[in-house]
């Protein structure tokens, strides 16, 4: 089944203008790296008649030499001059386009790649590079089409993983998360040791309301990556989505052991222990949040009530005073503070008088 039909990706026929040029003296290979791995070869152009070097060879050698010297800007100028005089050397144009990609000059790179595709529409490295440039240009629909057709036409080829990764990124930029998920799973089958990809796939499944899938994906990695905070957070959120609060609490606790100041973990655990009536543990996690967010009025107001329940009116008073510095107009809290002050004063008098 077509990649596009399977994932409901609308495809329109891509038309690339054909630029009529002479036959290139030096042509690009059908396959090869899509972007700059080795942008420019580390040697000059081989030419059989060394006694009579053509001008284009001299210009091309100079362009390559400038790039190898780290002078990319000057090399680009030299490539432009070369292609103005000898526009049918596709390999030189590919080197020029590759440097433009490296320099993130997307519009110019796209123009050069379109010319190359006009000469050789089925060249996979041109298509792969053009898809990447399209994505950077914001032409997301075109990038989805190009990556998709490239992957579909040769799903086991040497550039299949690059095409698949590109398609996934393009779909993400398009906001098509439903189509992304099965492709991420496919990529994961091909690169099973990619732990970052595993978490990305699990997180997407969870966001799409598929916590069981997330759990099945992530649990096998737990033994090997028990010290990874991101994995613990994903598993905690997954168990929470599956309504297993006890199991979720285990993962949240493991997360705060790895990242004590994690706001989300401490907030969840504070609510969890409060529901269970464990004010001591709830207070620990409220105060951990306050170390990160010390002027959060809502958090500050939770602390005095918990301290009061645990028989610590003095600490409760400190937090109420801190809260009123932030929210001075809260008359209810002001009244509560005065009440605690009165109770403390009465207790002190009783202590001093022995009554």
- Looking up residue 217, the CATH number of its domain turns out to be 1.25.40.10
| Whether residues 255 and 300 fall in one domain | no
| Whether residues 251 and 276 fall in one domain | no
- Domain assignment present for residue 254? The answer is yes
Q: 106-119 vs 124-137: helix axis angle to the nearest 10?
A: 150
Q: What is the mean pLDDT of the chain?
A: 88
pLDDT given for residue 76 in this prediction:
98
**Three-class secondary structure of residue 84 per DSSP:** helix
| Whether residues 354 and 275 fall in one domain | yes
DSSP string, 168-236: HHHHHHHT-HHHHHHHHHHHHHH-TT-HHHHHHHHHHHHHTT-HHHHHHHHGGGTTTTTT-HHHHHHHH
| Whether residues 355 and 277 fall in one domain | yes
Res. 47: pLDDT tops 70: no
Domain count of the fold of the chain: 2
Res. 328: pLDDT tops 80: yes
Does residue 315 or residue 345 have the better pLDDT?
Answer: 315
| Whether residues 240 and 284 fall in one domain | no
pLDDT given for residue 29 in this prediction:
35
Confidence of residue 39 (pLDDT cuts 50, 70, 90): confident
Contact 324, 300 (CB under 8 A): no
| Whether residues 243 and 309 fall in one domain | no
**Domain carrying residue 319:** 270-355
- Mean pLDDT, rounded, for 4-31: 35
| Whether residues 246 and 287 fall in one domain | no
- Mean pLDDT, rounded, for 169-182: 97
| Whether residues 323 and 250 fall in one domain | no
| Whether residues 245 and 321 fall in one domain | no
What percentage of residues in the chain have a pLDDT greater than 70?
A: 84
Res. 49: pLDDT tops 60: no
pLDDT given for residue 64 in this prediction:
96
- Among 29-33, 240-244, 304-308, 338-342, which is the least confidently predicted range? 29-33
- Mean pLDDT, rounded, for 223-238: 98
304: Cα separation from own chain's centroid: 40
| Whether residues 291 and 254 fall in one domain | no
- Domain assignment present for residue 323? The answer is yes
- Domain assignment present for residue 342? The answer is yes
Res. 25: pLDDT tops 50: no
Res. 235: pLDDT tops 50: yes
- Domain assignment present for residue 52? The answer is no
Its pTM stands at: 0.79
Contact 251, 267 (CB under 8 A): no
Nearest Cα residue to 56 out of 106, 99, 91: 91
Q: Residue 133 gets which letter from DSSP?
A: H
């Amino acid at each position: 089944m077509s990649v596009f039909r399977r994932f409901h990706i609308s495809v329109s026929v891509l038309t690339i203008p054909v630029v009529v040029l002479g036959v290139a003296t030096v042509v690009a290979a059908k396959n090869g790296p899509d972007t700059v791995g080795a942008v420019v070869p580390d040697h000059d152009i081989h030419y059989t008649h060394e006694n009579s070097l053509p001008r284009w060879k001299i210009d091309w050698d100079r362009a390559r030499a400038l790039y190898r010297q780290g002078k990319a800007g000057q090399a680009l100028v030299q490539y432009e001059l070369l292609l103005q005089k000898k526009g049918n050397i596709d390999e030189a144009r590919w080197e020029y386009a590759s440097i433009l990609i490296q320099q993130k000059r997307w519009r110019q790179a796209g123009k050069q790649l379109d010319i190359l595709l006009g000469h050789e529409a089925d060249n996979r490295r041109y298509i792969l590079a053009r898809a990447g440039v399209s994505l950077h240009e914001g032409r997301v629909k075109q990038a989805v089409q190009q990556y998709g057709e490239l992957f579909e036409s040769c799903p086991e080829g040497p550039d299949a993983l690059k095409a698949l990764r590109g398609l996934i990124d393009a779909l993400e930029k398009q906001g098509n998360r439903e189509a992304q998920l099965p492709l991420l799973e496919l990529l994961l089958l091909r690169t099973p040791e990619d732990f970052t990809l595993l978490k990305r796939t699990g997180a997407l499944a969870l966001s799409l309301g598929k916590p069981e899938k997330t759990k099945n994906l992530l649990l096998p990695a737990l033994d090997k990556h028990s010290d990874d905070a991101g994995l613990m957070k994903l598993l905690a959120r997954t168990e929470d989505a599956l309504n297993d609060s006890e199991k979720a609490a285990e993962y949240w606790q493991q997360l705060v052991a790895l990242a004590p100041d994690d706001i989300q973990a401490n907030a969840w655990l504070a609510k969890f222990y409060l529901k269970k009536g464990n004010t001591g543990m709830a207070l620990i996690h409220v105060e951990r949040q306050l170390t990160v967010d010390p002027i959060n009025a809502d958090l500050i107001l939770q602390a005095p009530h918990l301290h009061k329940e645990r028989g610590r009116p003095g600490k409760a008073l400190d937090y109420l005073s801190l809260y009123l510095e932030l929210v001075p107009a809260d008359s209810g809290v002001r009244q509560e503070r005065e009440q605690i002050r009165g109770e403390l004063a009465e207790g002190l008098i009783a202590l001093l008088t022995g009554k």
